[in-house]
Amino acid sequence: MCVRSGRFRLYAAVAAGSFRRFATYRIATMAGVFTNTVFGVILTYTYIALWDEKPGLGGYDQAQALTYVWLGQALLTTVAVMGGGFEDELMRRIRTGDIAIDLYRPADLQTWWLAGDLGRALFQLLARGVAPMLFGAVIFQLALPGDVLTWLATALAVLLGVVVSFALRFLVALSAFWLLDGTGVAQIAWLASTFFSGMLLPLNVFPGALGEVARALPWSALIQVPADVLLGERSGAELAAAYAFQAGWAAVLLAAGRLLQAVATRRVVVQGG
């Protein structure tokens, strides 16, 4: 028990350190808020045109569609849709061999990086998520929930989305053990997550089989599921199913990462650094 709480304190410290590290880039953060807001405005108008043409598209009314836009901007860096989290650094450490030092640490590699990524995500949500969302809510007609419970439910969905995103990016980073240069894999992963997270367009607007496949893939846990929770599309048993979907993908992907990590670690030992 004592060891356990010590471990927890270690990972909490890693998360807090990561939060503080991102908090030092104040001007970059403000610049990011500005850019998210500009893209939010542009997307808002295209969605207005789209929903004017076809009201109720994808089961959303126009206010819901616009809320989707601004939530997407708020979550873009939080769930690291376009990468930019820890994976570049981890890949660099694998390439340079610094990873050997990480493996000596009395901490688990995957949990260590997960803790750091959670700290980063929390900072991005507070710094780059809240301000654009407020701007969108002031300027446009959004359908934000009035009750605290829906917001809390959304927060949990976002947390699970961050974990799924982490698990995916951890797999991408580990590919560097075999490929040394992981930029190709990172690019493919970035394309897939931009397209299948619902960042470009809500996944329930995707037609036919493409939409069904897109909604079943892990990336939909990043944006689409949290958005549906916020928009009140998921409640009761459906909410539980949404969480189960996210948690299921998180468990599968984290386990895959763990397996790959074990295999990769053996490789490092064989090479002898």
Tell me the window of 36-44, 93-101, 253-261, 262-270 that interacts with other proteins (CB under 8 A): 36-44
Of the candidates 46, 141, 235, 271, which one interacts with other proteins according to CB under 8 A? 46
Nearest to 73 by CA among 118, 1, 135: 135
Alpha helices in the chain (DSSP H): 2-23, 26-53, 62-75, 87-96, 99-104, 109-124, 130-139, 148-174, 176-179, 183-196, 208-216, 224-230, 237-271
Q: Is the distance from CB of 259 to CB of 117 less than 8 angstroms?
A: no
From residue 181 to residue 220, what is the string marking binding to other proteins with x (rule CB under 8 A)?
A: --xx--xx-xx--xx----xx---xxx-------------
When asked if residue 50 is in the footprint of other proteins (CB under 8 A), the reply is yes
When asked if residue 135 is in the footprint of other proteins (CB under 8 A), the reply is no
Residue 50 or 107 having the CB closest to other proteins: 50
DSSP state of 38: H
Residue 86 or 190 having the CB closest to other proteins: 190
User: In whole angstroms, how close is the CB of 37 to other proteins at the nearest point?
Assistant: 8
Q: Is the distance from CB of 148 to CB of 104 less than 8 angstroms?
A: no
Say how many residues make up the chain. Answer: 273
DSSP state of 163: H
User: In whole angstroms, how close is the CB of 74 to other proteins at the nearest point?
Assistant: 15
| Interface contacts to other proteins, rule CB under 8 A | 25, 27-28, 30-32, 34-35, 38-39, 41-42, 45-46, 48-50, 53-54, 57, 183-184, 187-188, 190-191, 194-195, 200-201, 205-207
